[in-house]
Structure 1
Amino acid sequence: MTILDSQPDSGGDIDSRYAWTRLALSVVLGTIACVGTWSVVVVLPTIEVEFDTIRGGASLPYTCTMLGFAAGSAVMGRLADRFSIVAPICIGAVLLCAGYVLAAFSSDIWQFALVHGLFIGVGSASGFAPLMSDLSHWFRKRRALAVTIAASGSYAAGTVWPLVVEHFQVSQGWRATYVGIGLFVPAAMLPLAFLMRRRPVSAAIAEAESTTREARVSLGLSPRALQGLLVVAGFACCTAMSMPQVHLVAYCGDLGYGVAIGTQILSLMLGLGIISRLASGLAADRIGGGPMLLLGSAMQAAALLLYLFFNSLSSLYVISGLFGLFQGGIVPMYAVIIRQFLPPREAGARIGFVIMATILGMAFGGLSSGLIFDASGSYRLAFLHGFLWNCVNLALVAWLILRPRAKPRAGEAAFR
């Protein structure tokens, strides 16, 4: 029996004022929890010098963080299905506290990377996939918008935390900054978790089961086949996405613009990514998650091409802004598609598994871009590498949308 089976049969909370309040709490929680995916990007140049390593070695903690985030996404999603969203939030808060304090006392790059993987990455996963899954049960008419807003917490983290970390890194040092983050996160997350104790009702879940079952008939793909395709597509798009997000700060430093400028450009990119996520949610509620995913992938590819040809300071601001506007809505669309076609009682685990693939793509892309830089002395080939992976994603999503399929019968949902 799952936690959803024990609820009274009332669907009155769906699309209600409470649902929107819960969404607001989710954004705050996501913003706090996802600090782990951004703090390491800001301290990357400092770590490279302090631990006397090369760019590929300095990228290792980020890669370990993403690996931990990936594993945590699957585990936290299953916990949310089984025990409600409170369990992953509380566990994540404790892991983040322990991770940041331990990382502050690391004496070499391997200790630093290991702590990021086992504690910080896993803990940060509580602020992404489980929240998207949870919110998808509370909305019907505006589900895509709600999911993308919930996912915006990670970009809000990317907008706020790099500036905070850079400020305190300069004034207090990165170690003291890490200890401060470790103390702040549980103090903020644990009280918010207990405001999320209310659970979805079984009547709404049963209705959603019937709707997704009918939608799968019109799609003509088994749950396993659709899940597998989304996993590969997610890995490919995020391998491409990782190049600017992970290495932009270091790239700006190499070009002579400075780490502080790179941090500002990264914050601009991720801030505009929030706008992108909101706009993509509104659009997906009208045209469907599939077409919105295809559009986002095509626009991300265009932005990556621009990085190949322009690297002046003004052009980096413009291109990074466009990149944020183009790619922000891509990852939440996987959650929207899963909730449209796959069993809602398994939403946390299934969304978590696809998010795991996207994070593995970020980890692979972040590390491979660093290695390509070390081998070539330039980020030009790294941007090209990202563009080619984006083309893989574009081909898979186009096939999913444009392939012939059975005409839906009355009452069935089409893959718009």
Structure 2
Amino acid sequence: MDRPPLLAIAGPVPQGRAMTRSPARSIEDGGGYAPDGPYSFARLALSLLISTLVGAGMWAIIVVMPEAQRDFGVDRSAASLPYTLMMCTLAFSTIALGRMTDRRGIVLPLAISGSSLGLGFVLAGYAPNLIVFSAAHVLIGVGAGTGFGPMMADISHWFVKRRGVAVVVVASGNYLAGTIWPLLMSLAMPLIGWRATYVGIGLIIAATVLPLALAMRRRPSAAVFDEAEAATAAARADVGITPRMLLVLLVLAGFSCCVAMSMPQVHLVAYCGDLGYGVAHGAEMLSLMMALGIISRIGSGFVADAIGGSATLMIGSFMQGVALTLYLYFDGLTSLFVVSGIFGLFQGGIVPMYAVICRELLPPRQAGAAIGLVVSATIFGMAFGGYFSGVIFDLTSSYRMAFLNGVLWNALNFAIVAWLFWRRQRRARVGQLLAA
């Protein structure tokens, strides 16, 4: 039985490039691994495991922050500095390690991640003061940079029919890390303290990620990249803008959507405390949001494989705007649980769709750099949105204007992605009429 074709070309195949046999069959005949095959799914499972391990770098500081604050005798703003440094470093390392993935494959970035995370966590565990503790989180930020953008870029080369699902599965490693690592740390810290827990995390990551990286040595064949290049060129022609301009628009869209997304994620616990419901209820709402976010993240992959990344992102952006608007009108305890659950269902699949769109429309040999840049924009959007929402609250003594600010940023995101979708659809229809 013939295997599925390597790529579903988004437009007519240029003359002289017509193929007489399945590209996937040609790849396997040459000793390579065809996309969507057994090796691809095995690599997907391994990528999810590695992403979950590396994702510890993003969540550990949130768990130990109160203990570290007491240990170092500093105030809350000073204790937040390691998190800020980690996130900023993470954003830049995602770009740098994404470029490295394009040139050398994923093994070296993973080796850097395993080493940086191992050293960073151990150094933080033995830190005598906040300065050393903060510097250690720069290393942790470097190490965490491989776990999201570069890993999504790598797995995208091994799937065509199920690329959307593959990308969101790897992206879910971040959410799984946010579920598993804080739980394990909350169990370990009362027994051995936060310092020993940090050292243990570093040793576990170094001992697992470094050898697992060796299992990721294989790289897609030249035929895979050639066929992907033809597909993205045809799809990009339907949009009718240059790769650089498309990347600029995706960066702006990613930044704006995550400014909007940050308001509930960063301030929901404090919002519940201000309403008199207690921070415990706020933490429960946040957990519900994250859990349903995993479901929506996986579901968005199936939707993207059916209708495309652009359409899926447009739907997700619109629904996130609806959920943010609901926060303006409902502030009862039960209604906040419902709205937070709805928000989780709507927002979980948005960020991975930028990776899917990059692979649909941009040159595949630059996937790591492009996805890394867009993902970094989303990280900066989360950081700016969380801070700016706090500024708005300080000025107004209310989160109502902060939620409205999120709605407006979401409207900008929706305008960009809707325009890209409309332009591609319109040009594709014109092309079909001319061909007829």
Q: Which residue of 1 aligns with 2:256?
A: 236
Contact 2:33 2:220 in 1 (8 A): no
Aligned-partner Cα distance in 2 for 1:352–1:207: 22
Q: Which residue of 1 aligns with 2:12?
A: none
- Counterpart of 1:230, as a letter, is L
Deviations, residues 34-93 of structure 1 (Å, cap 9, x unaligned):
112222333445556665434x55544333222111111111111111111111111111
Q: Which residue of 2 aligns with 1:103?
A: 124
Q: Which residue of 1 aligns with 2:82?
A: 61
Contact 1:45 1:250 in 2 (8 A): no
Query: Structure 1 residue aligned with 2:240, among 220, 224, 227?
Result: 220
Q: Which residue of 2 aligns with 1:78?
A: 99
- CA spacing shift, 1:315–1:65, aligned 2, 3 Å: farther
Q: Which residue of 1 aligns with 2:343?
A: 323
Aligned-partner Cα distance in 2 for 1:164–1:267: 15
Aligned-partner Cα distance in 1 for 2:154–2:29: 17
- Counterpart of 1:273, as a letter, is G
Q: Which residue of 2 aligns with 1:3?
A: none
- CA spacing shift, 1:232–1:70, aligned 2, 3 Å: same
Contact 2:239 2:420 in 1 (8 A): no
Following superposition, the deviation at residue 113 of structure 1 comes to 3.9
Contact 1:162 1:267 in 2 (8 A): no
Following superposition, the deviation at residue 375 of structure 1 comes to 5.0
Aligned-partner Cα distance in 1 for 2:326–2:192: 37
Aligned-partner Cα distance in 2 for 1:349–1:133: 9
Aligned-partner Cα distance in 1 for 2:134–2:399: 23
- Counterpart of 1:188, as a letter, is T
Q: Which residue of 1 aligns with 2:208?
A: 188
Tell which has more relative contact order, 1 or 2 (C-alpha 8 A, sep 6+).
1
1:284 aligns with 2:333: no
1:19 aligns with 2:40: yes
Q: In structure 1, the residue corresponding to 2:215 is in which secondary structure?
A: helix
Q: Which residue of 2 aligns with 1:155?
A: 175
- Counterpart of 1:176, as a letter, is A
Q: Which residue of 2 aligns with 1:33?
A: 54
Aligned-partner Cα distance in 2 for 1:383–1:142: 36
- CA spacing shift, 1:35–1:262, aligned 2, 3 Å: farther
1:135 aligns with 2:155: yes
Contact 1:9 1:203 in 2 (8 A): no
Q: Which residue of 1 aligns with 2:164?
A: 144
Q: Which residue of 1 aligns with 2:408?
A: 388
> Percent same amino acid among aligned pairs?
54
TM-score normalized by the length of structure 1: 0.87
Structure 1 window deviating more from structure 2 (280-289 vs 236-245): it is 236-245
Query: Structure 2 residue aligned with 1:267, among 284, 287, 295?
Result: 287
Q: In structure 2, the residue corresponding to 1:138 is in which secondary structure?
A: coil
Contact 1:299 1:326 in 2 (8 A): yes
Following superposition, the deviation at residue 312 of structure 1 comes to 4.6
- Counterpart of 1:285, as a letter, is D
- Counterpart of 1:335, as a letter, is A
- Counterpart of 1:152, as a letter, is S
1:125 aligns with 2:152: no
TM-score normalized by the length of structure 2: 0.84
Following superposition, the deviation at residue 243 of structure 1 comes to 2.6
Following superposition, the deviation at residue 357 of structure 1 comes to 0.9
Contact 1:64 1:363 in 2 (8 A): no
Contact 1:60 1:367 in 2 (8 A): no
What is the root-mean-square deviation in Å for CA atoms of aligned residues?
A: 2.7
- CA spacing shift, 1:123–1:105, aligned 2, 3 Å: same
- CA spacing shift, 1:340–1:373, aligned 2, 3 Å: same
Following superposition, the deviation at residue 205 of structure 1 comes to 1.0
Q: Which residue of 1 aligns with 2:24?
A: none
Structure 1 window deviating more from structure 2 (137-146 vs 243-252): it is 243-252
Q: Which residue of 1 aligns with 2:194?
A: 174
Q: Which residue of 2 aligns with 1:414?
A: none
Following superposition, the deviation at residue 253 of structure 1 comes to 5.5
Deviations, residues 259-290 of structure 1 (Å, cap 9, x unaligned):
66544443332222111111111111111111
Aligned-partner Cα distance in 1 for 2:264–2:204: 28
- CA spacing shift, 1:236–1:284, aligned 2, 3 Å: same
- CA spacing shift, 1:168–1:257, aligned 2, 3 Å: farther
Structure 1 window deviating more from structure 2 (192-201 vs 134-143): it is 192-201
Contact 1:42 1:249 in 2 (8 A): no
Structure 1 window deviating more from structure 2 (247-256 vs 296-305): it is 247-256
- CA spacing shift, 1:52–1:231, aligned 2, 3 Å: same
Structure 1 window deviating more from structure 2 (60-69 vs 352-361): it is 60-69
Structure 1 window deviating more from structure 2 (204-213 vs 262-271): it is 262-271
Contact 1:298 1:394 in 2 (8 A): yes
- CA spacing shift, 1:106–1:261, aligned 2, 3 Å: farther
Structure 1: gaps of 5 or more residues: 1-6, 411-416
Deviations, residues 309-356 of structure 1 (Å, cap 9, x unaligned):
444544443333222211111111111111111111111111111111
